[in-house]
């Protein structure tokens, strides 16, 4: 089999682990950019979509530091594949909620405000709290919301994890890469 830069990437599990960890870090950085710089407030589902990426960043860091054997790298890649499958599913679900294909969660209306100390505080909170709905995409690019882009990116990372697993399993099994 001919070696290409792409096949070389997936032939080394540590590179795939690093790729997934760095891509998840980039996705989280993008989410924080949209939240803090562009001032798009995340809804409940937006925040839930970050969880698999936070976990992937941590898992990738630990795996790169500690996973020296081929078996431990396979386990890390399998776990990363599961995290990216979860993230893809969350992104598809949230996109479907935005498009009206699925019903969103009943409690997807915004963050809970801190307890008011009195009626004036409560009235002020009512005027300043902005409820963020899961059913409305705050931003779209090429027809996809951030949830849709997360679904696509996560699907790409899932495929990368599966290709890395396939390659690593082939090498572990003794057949040529």
- Cβ-contact 124, 154 below 8 angstroms: no
Q: Where are the alpha helices (DSSP H) in the chain?
A: 5-11, 13-36, 44-66, 70-99, 119-128, 146-172
- Cβ-contact 17, 165 below 8 angstroms: no
pLDDT of residue 172: 56
As a whole number of angstroms, the distance between CA 145 and CA 39 comes to 15
Q: Which residues are paired to 139 by β-bridges?
A: none
pLDDT of residue 77: 93
pLDDT of residue 161: 93
Question: Per-residue pLDDT for the chain (177 aa), expressed as one digit of tens each?
Answer: 566 555 566 668 888 999 999 999 999 999 888 888 888 788 888 888 989 999 999 999 999 888 777 788 888 999 999 999 999 998 888 888 877 776 667 767 544 555 656 777 666 766 665 566 666 667 656 877 777 889 899 999 999 999 888 887 666 555 443
Where do the domains of the chain lie, and which CATH numbers do they carry? 5-106+135-172 (1.20.1550.10)
As a whole number of angstroms, the distance between CA 119 and CA 14 comes to 57
- Cβ-contact 109, 131 below 8 angstroms: yes
Taking alpha carbons only, the member of 49, 76, 59, 60 closest to residue 19 is 60
Taking alpha carbons only, the member of 73, 93, 79 closest to residue 158 is 79
Q: Which residues are paired to 145 by β-bridges?
A: 140
Helices 13-36 and 44-66: crossing angle in degrees, nearest 10, is: 150
pLDDT of residue 14: 85
pLDDT of residue 126: 62
């Amino acid at each position: 089999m001919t070696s290409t830069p792409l096949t070389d990437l997936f032939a080394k599990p540590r590179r795939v682990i690093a790729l997934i960890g760095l891509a998840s870090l980039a996705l989280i950085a993008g989410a924080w950019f949209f939240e803090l710089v562009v001032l798009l407030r995340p809804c409940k589902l937006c925040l839930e979509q970050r969880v698999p990426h936070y976990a992937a960043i941590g898992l990738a860091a630990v795996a790169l530091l500690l996973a020296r054997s081929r078996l431990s790298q396979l386990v890390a890649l399998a776990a990363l594949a599961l995290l990216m499958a979860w993230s893809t599913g969350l992104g598809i679900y949230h996109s479907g909620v935005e498009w009206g294909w699925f019903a969103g969660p009943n409690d997807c209306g915004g963050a809970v405000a801190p307890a008011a100390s009195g009626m004036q505080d409560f009235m002020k909170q009512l005027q300043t709290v902005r409820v963020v709905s899961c059913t409305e995409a705050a931003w779209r690019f090429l027809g996809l919301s951030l949830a849709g882009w997360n679904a696509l990116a996560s699907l790409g990372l899932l495929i990368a994890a599966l290709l890395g697993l396939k390659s690593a399993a082939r090498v572990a099994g003794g057949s040529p890469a």
